[in-house]
Chains A and B, each alone.
Chain A
Amino acid sequence: MATLILKATEACNSSCAYCDVVHKPRQGPAQMSLPVLERVFHRIDEFLRESPDEELEVVWHGGEPLLPGPAFYARAVELQQQHCAETSARVSHSVQTNLSLFSREFARLFRQLGMDCIGTSYDPIAGVRGPGDRPDTAAYNAKFMRGLRIAEEEGFGWGVIYVVTKLALERPADVFYFMTNLKLDGGVNFHPVLVYGPEPRHLAITPGEFADFLGAIFPVWWRHQDRYPEVEPFRSFVRNAREGAISLGCGDSGRCSHSHWNVAPDGSVSHCGRSADWGLLPYGTVFDHSLAEMRRDPQRQALAHRNEVLPRGECQGCRLWAICHGGCPLDAWADQHSFDHRTPWCQAKKKFVEEYFEPITGLRCEFDAEGRTVQPA
């Protein structure tokens, strides 16, 4: 599906230790202006009219996307009604927020945008998430829980990302139980912390450590899948191993090359949030180009090209290719300053599969070029 990431703002009311949104130098405005917002909806309508078979997902992102306030979203609701009168049925919305500012007002507006589920992040470990140089976790947690309660009371489903840092390595079980207790019916996603610069060193983990973290909690999940459904990446690994490569995130699909746009607050468009941060893959602005034009941008070839280079090079013969595709191209770029490499997280994937997943489940993770599972003879 076509995915349009909308950076409603690049500012954040928190300053989580591993997040560079508030730490990096910024050019341009922090918050998206209403004219840019209007232009975006205009472009969405234009795109969907031109492509009657397409659907488009708007991902409200940031910074903290709730920071612009309810009025901003009220305007978004109006703009969608105005500009996408005929196409709005093919537009869906999702949001990735820290929930600390969530309110009943937001709930009403998000419902008007057709959302019934909210994406968020959390970490019970003190000092990781929260505002301030040394994150004030207590204050942050209280606001998060308040937002969460409102979301639940308002009938929203939610999913939560847990970013695995060095601090979590000491207590994988605690983290696992905490997150799955907080979100009983699953929707918990474990990600490794991505640290590109020299800081914050104290949080960085190696791919091997991430694999070991997953390996420490995987047996519990595997034994009790009805107790802890929808824990990622475990559930996808199992589904893929059983049914073929069917459950893939953007970084594993090898297909993000033609599906993503990222719109910055000033209206400039890049491939995704990370390419925008690093000044890569600039596709123009919503004022100059249509979404369709930017989707045809030749720079995207560099991403697609990767799918040809890697299977003949670094990923040659890899039995995980169909569920990995060399990982996220931006991760590869961060490591090697070129898209034509696999990511360093390759090692995490292999280690998890070989040392934990396969021995514990007895399932085999091997796929042919079409993504079908290959069982050893």
Chain B
Amino acid sequence: MPLPTLVCPDAPGLIERLHGRTLAVRVDEPEAIAGAARGVRSSDNELCCVICDALRPLADLDLRDDWDGVPIALGVPEAGRFRDLAPSIPRLRDLDLRVYLAADRPDNLVALRLLSSLGVPCCATFAGGAPDWAALTDLMTYALLASVPHAPIDPFEHIADHYEPPFATEWGATCFADPRCYLHLDEEGRVALARSELLAGVVIAEDVADIADEADLVSHPALVERAVRRLRLFEQDHPCARCPGWRVCLGTLADSLDTAPGCAAFFTEMLDVIDQRRDQRSRDREPVKWRP
């Protein structure tokens, strides 16, 4: 296991303290994206990407010239009206960027499809609200089966690419939520397994220096506890344990089962769609990718 990427704030003091790490820098304002990228690149760390959760609709953002060449994970609350977004499409397509939209808003499901169909990579996030599962199923089917070139919609694309039956596929990494791939740092260098845990003050190390190599991590009780948490679902005969879609969810949405039921049918369907996609691809020629 390579050492996970560190998701950290754009804090020069912290970044200078780190050496030879791969960093995903988190900024609050889209205006700060380019500066944050420069900061990491001028340190002796590697830049994974800049993460920005903007508070304005995508259509309202200024897609600045200095974003060129910066990998950007851009979260937005909504895409905005298409008429306002349309002028940005070519630019969005040229940037090295993925747009994150919460799946619990119906208009976002539409936006994900439009962006994808126009060649803009994007990702649905599951923040806890109840998505319209039927609409989401439709979107997922589009993402995975539509034969016309379109940009990937994650996590569907990620899951479909990585699922190797009979084994399970984790997809938390598509939104930086898999501690085997991403650890989360605060300004002081404290380390947490998830962003939510960092915000809640649940840290696994007081200083990032304590997580120097993978040995510090594999046996770390907090990480072990995470694995145990999954088995606990079986122990309790939790609905996730008997969910037909378990293989491509692993209880990722277990906490929101009460508020957003319907996930099981969705992920079960996804398994079938993935099978269908594999059949389709084994019959057809190589799929046309939007980007080479």
Contacts and interface: CB of A to CB of B under 8 A. Distances in A.
A177 B235 contact: no
Contact of A178 (B167, B227, B242): B242
Contacts of B236: 141
Interface stretch (A4-12, A142-150, A232-240, A267-275): A142-150
Interface stretch (B27-35, B111-119, B192-200, B243-251): B243-251
B242 A177 contact: yes
A220 B275 CA distance: 14
Given A124-B242, A181-B247, A182-B241, A145 B165 contact: no
Contacts of A178: 234, 237, 241-242
Interface string A171-188: 001110110011011100
A149 B227 contact: yes
A142 to B, nearest CB: 6
Given A185-B166, A228-B166, A148 B241 contact: no
B231 interface: yes
A184 B249 CA distance: 13
B247 A227 contact: yes
B135 interface: no
B271 interface: yes
Contacts of A124: 234, 237, 241-242
B232 A145 contact: yes
A220 B242 CA distance: 14
Nearest to A230: B166
B65 to A, nearest CB: 48
Nearest to A220: B244
Given A145-B231, A227-B271, A184 B241 contact: no
Contacts of A138: 235
Contacts of A144: 235
Interface string A48-85: 00000000000000000000000000000000000000
Given A124-B242, A174-B242, A227 B237 contact: no
B54 to A, nearest CB: 38
A224 interface: yes
Contacts of A224: 165, 271, 275
Contacts of B228: 145, 149
Given A124-B241, A149-B227, A184 B234 contact: no
B168 interface: yes
A308 interface: no
A135 interface: no
Contacts of B246: 177, 181
Nearest to B164: A226
Contacts of A186: 166
A356 B243 CA distance: 24
A145 B247 CA distance: 19
Interface of B: 165-168, 227-228, 231-232, 234-237, 241-244, 246-247, 271, 275
Interface of A: 124-126, 138, 141-142, 144-145, 148-149, 173-175, 177-178, 181-182, 184-186, 220, 224, 226-229
14 contacts: A124-B241, A138-B235, A141-B234, A141-B236, A149-B227, A175-B242, A177-B244, A178-B241, A181-B234, A184-B167, A184-B168, A186-B166, A226-B165, A229-B166
